[in-house]
Amino acid sequence: MNPVEVRNKPRAKSRRRRPHTGRARNEVARSAILATTLELLSTRSRFSVEAVAAHAGVGKQTIYRWWPSKGALVLDALIDASAKDQPAPDTGTLRGDLRALLVTTFKYASDPSVSDALRAGVTEAQVDVTAAEMLRRFVDGRRGAFRRMLDRARSRGEVPQTADIELIIDQAFGVLWYRLLMGHRPLSRSAAIALAEGLVGQITACRD
Amino acid sequence: MNPVEVRNKPRAKSRRRRPHTGRARNEVARSAILATTLELLSTRSRFSVEAVAAHAGVGKQTIYRWWPSKGALVLDALIDASAKDQPAPDTGTLRGDLRALLVTTFKYASDPSVSDALRAGVTEAQVDVTAAEMLRRFVDGRRGAFRRMLDRARSRGEVPQTADIELIIDQAFGVLWYRLLMGHRPLSRSAAIALAEGLVGQITACRD
Amino acid sequence: MNPVEVRNKPRAKSRRRRPHTGRARNEVARSAILATTLELLSTRSRFSVEAVAAHAGVGKQTIYRWWPSKGALVLDALIDASAKDQPAPDTGTLRGDLRALLVTTFKYASDPSVSDALRAGVTEAQVDVTAAEMLRRFVDGRRGAFRRMLDRARSRGEVPQTADIELIIDQAFGVLWYRLLMGHRPLSRSAAIALAEGLVGQITACRD
Amino acid sequence: MNPVEVRNKPRAKSRRRRPHTGRARNEVARSAILATTLELLSTRSRFSVEAVAAHAGVGKQTIYRWWPSKGALVLDALIDASAKDQPAPDTGTLRGDLRALLVTTFKYASDPSVSDALRAGVTEAQVDVTAAEMLRRFVDGRRGAFRRMLDRARSRGEVPQTADIELIIDQAFGVLWYRLLMGHRPLSRSAAIALAEGLVGQITACRD
DNA sequence: CGATAAGCGAGACGGTACGTCTCGTCTTTGA
DNA sequence: TCAAAGACGAGACGTACCGTCTCGCTTATCG
């Protein structure tokens, strides 16, 4: 399942002897809700929990039983969607890895349904603490993959000790989110490649 | 006053002979509304047009007469606030200019009241077309200042022809917005300096 | 409960097996709304749905869920209030019945809270179609009682065939509403008695 | 001119030495306002002062300079319209006079534009004190004509001393307003005649 | 197998805010 | 000095959602 999912409602009082009684959670409903969420986020109409419930053929309470707020639902849909995403390959060189990761990430984020979810996610996170925490975990996960890639390159001697890895990561994802939110320029493949090239130059320039 | 302001309601058909009749716009109300908007955005309570009207001692209609939506108001307050901002100095070198601009910009954006307005602005822009256009103009203005600085450096021979100026700008503002929205790391002075250093390295690395 | 009440929203498609789903209507809220409506109509301050909601401790939507408009609410409150009203007795003679009915009706309509509701009801009905229909039903109900009384007298031979019963009723209620709305003269007991006397004279004068 | 008109706004400060300065009152505007008021009351759209001003090509303040409130305007339009109404003839008999007066009055009140104004007038009077006073004067004027007619008949010996003239008048106008406001039956010529007949019967029945 | 304990679709509830409309007042400008 | 134009503070309108609370039902698990 999805380990990031919020599951705070049940388990209020810890009772040993009876771990669970009653009807089991309906997995069909769960995935219908998440799928509908992504779908409604894509159509640029106003997104509402009410609409998700109606469209997914589900009671509103079934949503609020498992997600504490609208923002949490949006973030969970986003996380759920990105779980299917496969990791970038290990090409053996910093330039190759960086290029592969950025191209993959830009391609993924520029898918209309994903980009709408990303936009909605960051929007909700500005208003909803739970969503903010979930977004933070999501972002940290993505940063982690990036960091592992750079650490691999460093162990191969391709990254000098003086290089500020976190700032490199900030620049990579910064461009992604900035273009996503402002829309002044697309998340194209060529942009990903140019960015990779620039960051390689920046990293190697640190050698001096 | 502010040239970016939305002024769509009056003046549908241009008539020569009578440029304006009726009571003039109340500038006191205008600035009270914008000031209150910034103030309410800073207090992390839910921001609403209703609250702005009440707090500014103004009728709700007076807001809607001049701003087509909540988002437009937020963006105008942001633009109005940033108009007071002074430009970064011309230091004569790429490194100096870049560092000065980034330090100034980060300092400005990390002011609590400004950062809340920036966050709210980008949030509203995701939902409100007018706000999106205004944000776009705001962002373009900022990018313009950055671009002029890089062009100056290029004319001094500090920037090679192969350097992708737009991408450099995206990286700079990308880090700003990314940290602002995710909050994983502050917009510190040292971060601005490190970023300037990295971008200088990236630009000069293009020489090869 | 009240058969005149508007109940248009639910039950679009008749399904046998599940006559009702979802939370049941809150009868406490319903009567609080109607009671508050009457109360606010009595205080001669401006009557508003917003005030009813606030004063009854109820959400505005709860009012609009059950009443299609302000006018419908006013009329329903009026109808609900008049349902408690008891019928006039059967005295055995036209003069007695007529006098009893008019005295009762005038007394009822001159109660300050009722008269304010009646005034508000007819006022709303001039602007609101639903309210107009409801007022019409209310008025028809009252006319019906009057007509049954006259029919009883006719079957006793006290009312000639030539008498225009509908016009008699119009005269009786006409005086009532006219005095209510213009306020030039009160709905006193003596006026009711004099009116009864006059109408008896008019009815028996038809014998010639 | 119209003696009933409210003229409270000017004359705020009594200055002797200069009985009149400035531009004289624009009679064209005055009648345009009243005519537009009647016209807008007839079209069953929502009637507003703003609409009257726009439609009459007049500033809103020009309306409020001469009429203290919306209700006063409505009532004045009503009074102005009914001033053109000619009096019923003196036929020499109670039956003839009564019939003539009722037929005339019903005919006048059933004119669509007049009936809409009457309805609006009584509606406004329920909410607006000035309108209420004006309606009262209007109603008293009409009652006066009726009363003079009955007094004439009484001096001819056609009306016994015991007859309650005010109640007779209440019945006549009561039927008018009641039908006007409830709309259950039209203000037809035959109804006027039947009512006249009934009231004659009622008056003469008092002789016993 | 029956009792108990959830989960579920449906939908009413108290609220908050939206963006619109109109009231009656105030102010500017041209005639 | 008047009148048109129109901005203003105020406040109600009716709608859209929020997140919560029932209702009557269905479905697991345990004793």
Task: List pLDDT tens digits, range C139-185.
Answer: 999 999 999 999 999 999 999 999 999 999 999 999 999 999 999 99
The minimum CA-CA distance between A1 and chain B, rounded to whole Å, is 25
Say what percent of chain C tops pLDDT 70: 89
The Å distance, CA of A68 to C1' of F20, is 12
Question: What pLDDT, on the 0 to 100 scale, is given for residue C206?
Answer: 62
Supply the DSSP symbol for C49: H
Question: What pLDDT, on the 0 to 100 scale, is given for residue D24?
Answer: 55
Alpha-helical (H) ranges within B68-164 are: 70-83, 94-110, 112-125, 129-155
Q: What is the pLDDT of residues A116-160, one digit of tens each?
A: 999 999 999 999 999 999 999 999 999 999 999 999 999 999 999
Question: Closest by alpha carbon to B44, among B109, B108, B110, B112?
Answer: B112
Q: How crowded is the C-beta side of C171, counted as CA atoms within 13 Å?
A: 30
With beta carbons less than 8 A apart as the criterion, state whether A76 and A4 touch: yes
Contact residues for D154 (Cβ-Cβ < 8 A; gap 6+): D163, D165
The residue that leads in pLDDT, D19 or A71, is A71
Provide the residue type at D65 as one letter: R
Res. B26: pLDDT tops 70: yes
Say what percent of chain B tops pLDDT 70: 89
Q: Is the CB of B26 under 7 A from strand E?
A: no
Res. A16: pLDDT tops 50: no
Question: What pLDDT, on the 0 to 100 scale, is given for residue D20?
Answer: 37
Query: Are chains C and D in touch, 3+ Cβ pairs below 8 Å?
Result: yes
Say what percent of chain A tops pLDDT 70: 89
Q: What is the pLDDT of residues A163-196, one digit of tens each?
A: 999 999 999 999 999 999 999 999 999 999 999 9
Question: CA-to-CA distance for D36 and D53, rounded, in angstroms?
Answer: 9
Do residue D198 and residue C164 have CB atoms under 8 angstroms apart? yes
Provide the residue type at B130 as one letter: T
Length of chain B measured in residues: 208
Q: Which residue is nearest to nucleotide F4 (CA to C1')?
A: D59
Q: What is the pLDDT of residues D122-173, one digit of tens each?
A: 999 999 999 999 999 999 999 999 999 999 999 999 999 999 999 999 999 9
Chains that touch C (3 or more CB pairs under 8 A): D
Among the ranges given (B200-204, C100-104, C139-143, D44-48), the one the predictor scored with the smallest mean pLDDT: D44-48
Provide the residue type at B103 as one letter: V
Length of chain A measured in residues: 208
Question: What pLDDT, on the 0 to 100 scale, is given for residue C18?
Answer: 59
Supply the DSSP symbol for C92: S
Give this prediction's pTM.
0.88
Do residue A179 and residue B170 have CB atoms under 8 angstroms apart? yes
With beta carbons less than 8 A apart as the criterion, state whether A15 and A36 touch: no
CB < 7 Å to strand E — which of 48-107 in chain D?
Answer: 48-51, 60-61, 64, 68-71
Number of neighbouring beta carbons within 10 Å of residue D105? 20
Number of neighbouring beta carbons within 10 Å of residue D113? 14
Query: Are chains A and D in touch, 3+ Cβ pairs below 8 Å?
Result: no
Question: CA-to-CA distance for B204 and C8, rounded, in angstroms?
Answer: 74
CB < 7 Å to strand E — which of 94-133 in chain B?
Answer: none
Confidence of residue B206 (pLDDT cuts 50, 70, 90): low
End-to-end CA distance of chain A: 47
Q: Which residue is nearest to nucleotide F6 (CA to C1')?
A: B22
Question: What pLDDT, on the 0 to 100 scale, is given for residue D7?
Answer: 38
Q: What is the pLDDT of residues D180-204, one digit of tens each?
A: 999 999 999 999 999 999 999 999 9
**DSSP per residue, chain D:** --TT----SS-SS--SS-S--SSPP-HHHHHHHHHHHHHHHHS-SPP-HHHHHHHHT--HHHHHHH-SSHHHHHHHHHHHHHHTPPPPP--SSHHHHHHHHHHHHHHHHTSHHHHHHHHHHHHHHTT-HHHHHHHHHHHHHHHHHHHHHHHHHHHTT-S-TT--HHHHHHHHHHHHHHHHHH-SS---HHHHHHHHHHHHHHHHHTT-
Contact residues for C50 (Cβ-Cβ < 8 A; gap 6+): C60
The minimum CA-CA distance between D170 and chain C, rounded to whole Å, is 6
Q: What is the pLDDT of residues C3-17, one digit of tens each?
A: 334 434 333 333 345
User: For D70-82, what is the mean pLDDT?
Assistant: 95
| 3 state SS of A157 | coil
